[in-house]
Amino acid sequence: MKTLLLLTAGFALAQAPDAQVPIPAKGSISGMVRDFDTGAPVAGADISASNPPARPVGGVTDAQGRFTLSNIDAGRIQLSANAPRIQGAGFPPLARKFVTLGQGQQVESIEVQVRTIAQISGVVTDQNDQPVPDISVFLVAREYQLGELRYIFAAPARTDDQGKYTLNSAPGRTYLLLATRSPGRADAISSAPADPRLRRPSVVPTYYPGVDTVAGAQAITLQSGDKRENLNIKLQRAASLCAEGSLSATGAPGEVTFNYAEASPHSGSSGDGGLFVGSNSGKTEADGKVRICDLHPGQYRFQVYDTPTALGTPATFGTGLATVTDRDGAIVFSSLPKVKVPGEMIWAEEPPASFTIPANSNLIISPLTRAPFREETRATPLQLAPFTMDLFGDDYTVQRPTLPAGVYLKDITYGDKSVLRAPFHPGSAVGDAKLKVILAHDGGTLNAHVADKEGKPMADQFVILLPANITSEVTFADAAISGQTDQNGSWTSASLAPGKYYVLASRTPFDRTPETIGGLWRARVKAKDIEIAPKARVDVTIEPIAIQ
């Protein structure tokens, strides 16, 4: 090893004796992984450091919970760690931490806190106190998304022959717990009795401990490694109703595929992941006739589409909400072809002198409440030339694209309405029916330093920036900008739109739950007011506050 080093040095000298180009020295990060709640060292934890453009450097903690990751280039390095995975218990949540590493620096005593997967179990029973097998039990996340408090399926489980379920879940969040009939195949014409009095009552999605509305539901907050037992749910039953009618593709009679489920909770992404849950689905008669039964009073979301020949995307699609009242009803509804949405990327003011779109920068549009069809949501590479997208008349989310330094996303509009804080619904535009990605380069940056009363820098704090023109809790989650401090208590924002902001720091990770958003909303009176002038760099030192 020594010989090799000498040889290399000698070679370099011989090559360029008076203009040495030093090879950037690699750095290393070492420290401990501990449990978030107990502080106990975690052995066998997976830990990795981002090291772009090279591959991340990974490692596993030893019996004392220690790790050392070496051969890392200088920069702001993201550490990701998780408690050891136990087979059959889902994936433990990933903890993130930022370390600023100088060239050849050896950063020591870094502490990463991980959470161990939590487990809850209980029994689902019916009106006869009988255990009910094959019931789907879900954790339901509540999140402010696109201007609405939404209820979204999170972790799933199913009851066994004793009505017992066991759910593995990421701890550190608050959820509702829901038991519902597992979705299945729907007949075109249901065989349910004609007389509603001779039908078995329908199973109503029931929140823990036994209510059919979110209002009465008891929320559950899970800590790291929690084992909560006896979270028993008594299923609610209601009148079983039918809806008769016809479904069609673009108005023409014929066989179409349909599915339906309660409108809320729905599939989608929440927290660090997403869950897509199947619906009751079936095919209509050859003439489009249906008789859909076992419905309970409440709101349902129906989808209808022409049966795709292969696994691909159907040609036409329709979706809508239907309210089931206390008696049998009628349903008539049709799918529609895709809508052509022209798009363009424009500058809010004069274009910059030079501008290169990053190679990986795409416009990603995905359905808000359902799994995408195969190849439905292809990413459109960002470009300055006009483009067109073919999309169904459904609610979509538009992801914020990756932009180069010095450029920020001012807005994305459709029909002169922002789609960054409301769903994007192709075909709904009034006015300019273009999807406009509006960029600007007059932004400033914020350099936040988080320190305690004594001025000691604080690592792992979340800095939250709220534009001052946001006037409601509901839009807070979509407008807030957040980041995490490194070991020196520092965080620097990307390019920000000029304007007034509230800024605060807290140990509570930023998420979209009503608990966090409500706490942040109330805490904004304690936040610092700052003004970011065009192209300015604003330095601010903040003392963290507790979010309740």
Partner 1 sequence: MFLRSALVILLLPGLAWSQTLAGRVLEDHTGAPLASANVKVSRPGDRFLAADLETDRDGRFQAAGLPAGAYSLEISKPNFAGTKLTATLSSAGANLTARLIKRGVIAGHVRDLQGQPIAGAVVMVMPKSRGSEALRSFGRTSTASTNVDTRGEYRIHNLPPGEYVAVVSYGASTRAMGSSGRASTPPNLGSGFLFYPSNSKPDTLSVTGGEEYRNIDFTIVTGAAYTVSGKVELPAPNSWFILGMMRTDQPGLAVAVAESAADGTFKFTGLPAASYRLVAATTARARNGQGFLLAETPVFGFTRVDIAGQNVEGIVVTPDAARTVIFNLRNAPGCPAAAQVELTPLEDWGSNLYRAVNVAAGKAASTSGLAPARYALTASGAGPVCYLESEAILDLAEGAPSAPVDLVFAPAATIRGKLNTGTKPTGAFAVALISSQDATAVEFATLDAQARFSFTGLKPGRYRMGPVPAGQKVPDIGKMFEFEVRGGSNAEIELAVAAEEAR
> Contact positions toward partner 1, by CB under 8 A?
86-89, 119, 126, 128-130, 132-134, 160-162, 166, 189, 191-195, 198-201
Closest distance of CB 238 from partner 1, Å: 14
Tokens 């305690």 belong to 452
Looking only at the bridges linking them, the beta strands covering 202-204 and 220-221 are unpaired
By beta-carbon proximity to partner 1, the closer residue of 129 and 454 is 129
The CA–CA distances, whole Å, from 481 to 144, 147, 464, 497 equal 14, 16, 6, 11
Task: Report helix, strand or coil for 456.
Answer: coil
- ω before 56 within 30° of 0 (cis)? no
CB-CB contact of 130 with 235 (8 Å): no
Closest distance of CB 136 from partner 1, Å: 14
Long-range CB contacts (within 8 A, 24+) of 214-218: 214/151, 214/176, 214/264, 217/176, 217/177, 217/178, 218/176, 218/177
List the structure tokens of 192: 């349910």
Cα-flanking dihedrals φ and ψ of residue 474, to 5°? -65, -40
Closest distance of CB 87 from partner 1, Å: 2
Give 48's contacts (C-beta < 8 A, 6+ positions apart).
Answer: 56, 57, 58, 59, 69, 79, 80, 81
By beta-carbon proximity to partner 1, the closer residue of 244 and 344 is 244
By beta-carbon proximity to partner 1, the closer residue of 164 and 417 is 164
By beta-carbon proximity to partner 1, the closer residue of 180 and 513 is 180
By beta-carbon proximity to partner 1, the closer residue of 196 and 509 is 196
Count of beta carbons in the 10 Å neighbourhood of residue 391: 20
Closest distance of CB 220 from partner 1, Å: 19
Closest distance of CB 117 from partner 1, Å: 9
The CA–CA distances, whole Å, from 28 to 31, 151, 297, 355 equal 10, 43, 61, 34
CB-CB contact of 285 with 307 (8 Å): no
Cα-flanking dihedrals φ and ψ of residue 523, to 5°? -80, -5
Closest distance of CB 153 from partner 1, Å: 22
Closest distance of CB 196 from partner 1, Å: 11
State the distance between the two ends of the chain, measured CA to CA, in whole angstroms: 57
By beta-carbon proximity to partner 1, the closer residue of 210 and 415 is 210
Give me the residues paired with residue 241 across strands.
Answer: 295
By beta-carbon proximity to partner 1, the closer residue of 233 and 496 is 233
Count of beta carbons in the 10 Å neighbourhood of residue 325: 10
Closest distance of CB 192 from partner 1, Å: 6
Closest distance of CB 116 from partner 1, Å: 11
By beta-carbon proximity to partner 1, the closer residue of 193 and 312 is 193
Give 190's contacts (C-beta < 8 A, 6+ positions apart).
Answer: 242, 291, 292, 293, 294
Give 233's contacts (C-beta < 8 A, 6+ positions apart).
Answer: 122, 123, 124, 125, 137, 177, 179, 206, 207, 208, 209, 210
Angstrom distance (rounded) from CA 65 to CA 73: 24
By beta-carbon proximity to partner 1, the closer residue of 159 and 316 is 159
Angstrom distance (rounded) from CA 190 to CA 202: 14
Dihedral of the alpha carbons of 230, 236, 242, 248, in degrees to the nearest 10: -40
By beta-carbon proximity to partner 1, the closer residue of 291 and 449 is 291
By beta-carbon proximity to partner 1, the closer residue of 203 and 503 is 203
By beta-carbon proximity to partner 1, the closer residue of 87 and 548 is 87
Closest distance of CB 134 from partner 1, Å: 6
Closest distance of CB 332 from partner 1, Å: 21
Closest distance of CB 190 from partner 1, Å: 8
